[in-house]
Chain A
Amino acid sequence: MGIIETDRLTKVYSGGVVALSDATIEIEKGEIFALLGPNGAGKTTLFKSLLSIVSVTRGDAHINGIPITNPESRKSIGYLPENHRFPEHHTGGSLLQSTAHLYGIGGSSSSARIESLLELVGMSKWKKTKLRKYSKGMTQRIGLAQALIPDPDILMLDEPTDGVDPVGKIEIRNALKQIKSEGKTIFINSHLLSEVESVADRVAILVGGKVRRIGSVDELTSRKSQYEIEAAFDETDFDFETIKGRLLEDAGNRIVVELTDENDINAIIDTLRSSSISIRSVKPLKISLEESFLETVSSSEEPK
């Protein structure tokens, strides 16, 4: 059973706007799961539905086995909202203290945790400064700290690196890896594909409120039925007509073939070996997550 499960989750806003349509996902404990999608794809609505910030029109969802309609389901979640506006009468330190109270955490243990989190996000120096004086990056970092206050099993981050400078982005990325190493589940919503590619284990692509693709980064970025073969073709007079599949690219000792059947790759290897060609590598052709994303988005566009 996944730590987060949604079953045909649908949200129709007043006015008939379908923000989410039959979204079914399952997130395993300890993984970094990323949600990708163009603007208006329903990513934030999915987050807000899971947290009951918006009501669900149809379908249901569970967090840690608890229905999302039960506030207890949010006990194990730390959330960093997109475009957040934390109460500006707070200092960084008092915001974390207030957050601890909202989670029902108090006493000296919360004080120690607040100090360590301020340290983790590099905000100890500014803990007594009012939030209104913070830069966007500083607010984002204190936002990450408040999300970590309950020592959550699940961290939900909506555009966590938004407005953060490159150094800050690396710091946040490293912090996420550290959090993952502690066995936490991270559910991240971002439009920064390179960011996602570098940290996520699995990805779902949401277009028009529907989950169009879901899988590991490897699965999403492998070009189906296309292989890159590196071998010593120049040492023999090899006839490429003899191999199964279609030759897409011939760059001397490196070729790209497209197969109609995935199993044909074994036949190609056999052919090359029987021709005494030394094979250096055979690997499925990869595309970037960005290319995969764009392909998914364009193929999802409904014909007019």
Chain B
Amino acid sequence: MRGLIKDTYLELLDRKVIYVFAVITLLWIIGAIGSRAIELQIQGQSFNADDIGMAFRGMLLGALNMHMYILVFITAMTAASVIPRMFVRGRADYYLSKPISRTSLLLKKTLAILIVYGALMLASFFIDLIAVSLSFGFFEFGMIYIIAIGIVSLFIWLTVTTIAGIATGSYSMSIIAAFLVWIAQWILGFQYYVEKLIDSKLVVYTVKTLYYIVPKTSEISGIAGSLAEGDPVDLMPLWSSVLFAFVALAAAVMIFHRKDY
């Protein structure tokens, strides 16, 4: 496991992904700290961050959640190529000839990606927290939900890219698959309107079934925001997406076992 974590870490450094994270985090901090200087004019009166109190807190949590959502998306896209690159012709032999079962190799590598890229997200998140705490004197334990659910989201994305990468052996297909799922979950988010607007039961049931199957990362991000703000939440999108992730991972292992390299 240690070897695979180090292997993933070295690849991350080599691909300079760390700089992308640094730039995004820096931009977010500049934006967050800069918002302190914003003054709102409402009915001729000036309001700043301190005056609007709870509303500003909500905005900050929302911004933090959005930052995490962007990081999850970028991480998923950059990590999408890790598994397919591992099993390209000529490199697969190196990994598969070692005394480690295919199941163990794939699961450990997926976990290694989650640990390494998750650690990067965690670092980015804590830099955000420190910046916000120092600048606004604002910290709530509810914020931890944002990173915790961000990591769960990353795991879900990873399983999508892993199964696509293993099945097709192509990293571009792996990234495309992640995109397609992202678009699909966004469209399926409107399933409520489909039910209202379309008469066909077949279409409604199909859309509903797909809605429950496809991972709902946007809704999960919404759950993180609600939990951070202490609002009540429906956890169905979270657990159904996690279930999808485990099924996808199991399917990836099965496909991996049948493949010749």
Contacts and interface: CB of A to CB of B under 8 A. Distances in A.
Interface string B2-32: 1110110011011100000000000000000
Nearest to B258: A55
Interface in A48-85: 48, 51-55, 71-75, 77, 79, 81, 83-85
A298 B98 CA distance: 37
B11 A104 contact: no
Nearest to B261: A53
A238 interface: no
A89 B6 contact: no
Nearest to A85: B90
A89 B6 CA distance: 11
B96 A51 contact: yes
Interface string B239-261: 00000000000000000001011
A240 interface: no
Interface residues of B, number: 30
A100 interface: yes
B200 interface: no
Given A53-B260, A101-B2, A86 B91 contact: yes
Contacts of A89: 10-11, 13-15
Interface string B87-109: 01111111111111100100000
In this complex, the member of B88, B94, B95, B100 whose beta carbon has the largest number of chain A beta carbons within 10 angstroms is: B94
A212 interface: no
Interface string A12-56: 010000000000000000000000000000000000100111110
A245 B59 CA distance: 104
Contacts of A75: 99
Contacts of B97: 51, 53, 74, 77, 79, 81
A98 B6 contact: yes
A111 B92 CA distance: 25
Given A48-B261, A106-B2, A71 B100 contact: yes
A51 B94 CA distance: 10
B99 A72 contact: yes
Given A48-B260, A53-B260, A71-B101, 17 more contacts: A51-B93, A51-B97, A55-B258, A55-B260, A71-B100, A73-B99, A79-B97, A85-B89, A87-B91, A89-B10, A94-B6, A98-B3, A98-B7, A98-B10, A101-B3, A101-B4, A101-B6
24 contacts: A13-B260, A48-B260, A48-B261, A51-B97, A54-B260, A55-B260, A71-B101, A73-B99, A74-B99, A75-B99, A84-B94, A85-B89, A86-B91, A87-B7, A87-B11, A87-B86, A87-B91, A89-B15, A97-B6, A98-B10, A101-B4, A101-B7, A103-B99, A146-B94
